[in-house]
Structures are given as structure tokens and as C-alpha cells.
Amino acid sequence: MKRTMTGAALGLAMAAAPAWAADEVTLQLKWVTQAQFAGYFVAEAKGFYDEEGLDVTIKPGGPDIAPEQVIAGGGADVITTWMAAALAARERGVPLVNIAQPFKTGGLQLNCLKSSGITSPEDFPGRTLGVWFYGNEYPFYAWMASLGIETDGADDNGVTVLKQAFSADPLIQGQADCISTMTYNEYHQILEAGIAPEELVTFNYLDMGFGMLEDGLYVLEDRLKDPAFQDEMVRFVRASMKGWKYAEEHPEEAAEIVLDFDSSGAQTYSHQFYMVGEVAKLTAGSNGALDEADYEQTVKTLLSAVSAENPAITKEPEGAWTHAITDKALN
């Protein structure tokens, strides 16, 4: 708590007491600096973390950075990642626990050109589909397993999986019939390339019944046994959600803040402003507390692909989430 003192009282206090130090917290993002993580950048820029006595370091991710590995190696206190990747890591020995869920819904899609002749999933066999990996592939494999479609491309009854880079180029350049997109990012890249929405067929994973929780906040289970760490996470979640709600209400300012944090200079205001607006649709309705029904839907989807290639999990997880942090942060 910050208190205001003036004059001699302030001077005596500064002379008599050691300097107050904020608690240091390192956040590892799932991807590069962009409005997908606007709430955290806003919380830092607007002083919301400072108000909670936190000194937060935000580490951008990238194609060669797996947040689950970073936190397992001690490089972060808390990470953002998709639940499928977190549960997969937990089953494989990295005991991640979801402590908050800023994203109420997900933005993962599969986009196809109408000119390809694809109008429904029944048209997938024999086609090339772009899929992201690094933990993002699990919804796709669950969906294909439910359809009974092989993913090795061995015959006309299956699909060929293109390991897609994190861009819309494979669709734009004709390398794939369909590609993975996020509503707030690659879909916009397609539109910016001059392809109109009416030229696309869009399969939304939520609409297909394979929605999975995306950007949640995760920590290592053992650290939650420490009351001091729990307190830090309570303050961190409270300030972060304040940042997310501010971003929802002030998209122009949030986009500018994201640009301020982008040391690469790769982002543009127009794209970040678009992204803030689309991400706000995913965080809307969330106060940060995980909805148990959404968690169960994610687990159900993942378990439906146990027999598929590279399943995320093979059994029901235990202890993978807690309300202990949000119960305190939000009350």
C-alpha cells in the first residue's frame, strides 16, 4: 500500500527506513509483442502493477520460445499459454496450474478459399491443410479424429498437414487449401492481402464443437505452496485484469501502448488497433476466473483425440487449475 507523507515526516521516514522494494514478477508471453497481450502492457504502462507493489518484467515470446519450457527452467514466474499446451506439459512432467483465465473464448479458425471447392469438412480429404504446432496443433487433431480423417496424407481419404509458419502466406501464395488463423491476427492478414470475406469459407473451432481455452495464466504447482508467492499472484492477476478491462474500453490507447513496447518495430498501429478490438471480443465477459465448464469442454475435446497422432493428453488431469488466486484477487 502506498501512503502519502509530506515535509519533515517524509524526510525522517526516508532517513530512518530502508528503501521499499517492489516484488519482482517475470511474465513470459506465448508470442511476440502484440495486442494479444494488451492487458499486461496496459497494466504496466498505466501503473496498475506499481499500485500493487509489483515490478513486472514482460518477456516476449516467439517461434523458438516455449513458455512451458521457460517456466520449467526458472526463467519466468508466470506464463501465458493455451490450455491444451499447458495440460500436455503437465502430463509430461511440468506441473502447470491455471490461476486465471482472461480469455473467455477462443479465436482459432481454419480458413479456406471458396475457389478451392471446399464448403464443408467432408471436402477436406485429399487437401492440404495448414496447421500450427508448438502446442497449437491439438485442437486440429481432435477435430480430424472426430471426423475419422487421417492426417498422414497417405491416400485420398486423408489430409496432408502443412506445418504452417505463423502467417497467412500459405493460403495467399496457394501452398495450402486451408490455413490456421486467429480472428485477431492472420485472418486480418488475409483481408489485407486483398481477399474479401465473401471469398472465404471459415470453420471456427468453437462452432465445430472443438473450442479450447486459449491464453490463460499458469504457474508451477509447487510455488503455490508459498503464501508470499500466492500473494504476489493475487496482486498480479488483479492488476492484469484491470489492464484488460482498460484495454477493452480504450482500444486506441491500448494499441498505442502495445506499439510502445514493440522494440522490433514490426507492428503497425492499424493492425494493432484491429487486434485490440478482436481480442476484446475474447476477453469480454471474463473477470479472470476460470469457468469450470469451459475447462471441462477443453479436456473433453482433448480426450476425444487420444487415439489420434500426437494427443495432448491421455487421461483426465488432476489439480490443473485453481480458483485460490482469483477468489482473492477479485473480492
- For 82-140, the pLDDT digits (tens) are 999 999 999 999 999 999 999 999 999 999 999 999 999 999 999 999 999 877 888 89
Domain 108-204 has CATH 3.40.190.10: yes
Residue position matching grid coordinates 521499499: 20
Q: Measure the CA–CA gap between 238 and 240, rounded to whole angstroms.
A: 6
Contacts 24+ apart (CB under 8 A), 62-66: 62/31, 62/32, 63/134, 63/165, 63/166, 65/28, 66/134, 66/135
Residue 6's pLDDT is what? Answer: 39
- Do 108-204 and 21-104+213-329 have the same topology in CATH? yes
How far apart are the C-alpha atoms of 316 and 300, rounded to whole Å?
Answer: 9
At residue 101, φ and ψ (nearest 5 deg) are: -135, 80
Give me the pLDDT at residue 320, please: 98
Q: Residues near 276 by Cβ (< 8 Å), separated by ≥ 6?
A: 35, 38, 247, 251, 254, 255, 258
Q: How confident is the model at residue 211 (pLDDT cuts 50, 70, 90)?
A: confident
Q: For residue 309, what pLDDT is reported?
A: 67
- The grid cell for 14 is 526516508
Place of cell 509483442: 33
Q: Find where cell 480472428 sits.
A: 183
Q: Which CATH superfamily is domain 21-104+213-329 in?
A: Periplasmic binding protein-like II (3.40.190.10)
Res 1 pLDDT > 70: no
Compute the distance between CA of residue 279 and CA of residue 184 in angstroms, rounded to an integer: 6
Domain ranges of the chain: 21-104+213-329, 108-204
Q: pLDDT band at residue 8, thresholds of 50, 70 and 90?
A: very low
pTM: 0.90
Weakest mean pLDDT among 2-11, 172-181, 236-245: 2-11
- pLDDT score of 246: 98
Taking only the tens place, the pLDDT of each residue in 19-57 is 578 999 999 999 999 999 999 999 999 999 999 999 999
pLDDT over 90 for what percent of the chain?
A: 77
Q: What is the pLDDT of residues 296-322, one digit of tens each?
A: 999 998 898 776 667 889 999 999 999
What pLDDT, on the 0 to 100 scale, is given for residue 137?
A: 87
pLDDT digits (tens, 9 = 90+) for 15-24: 444 457 899 9
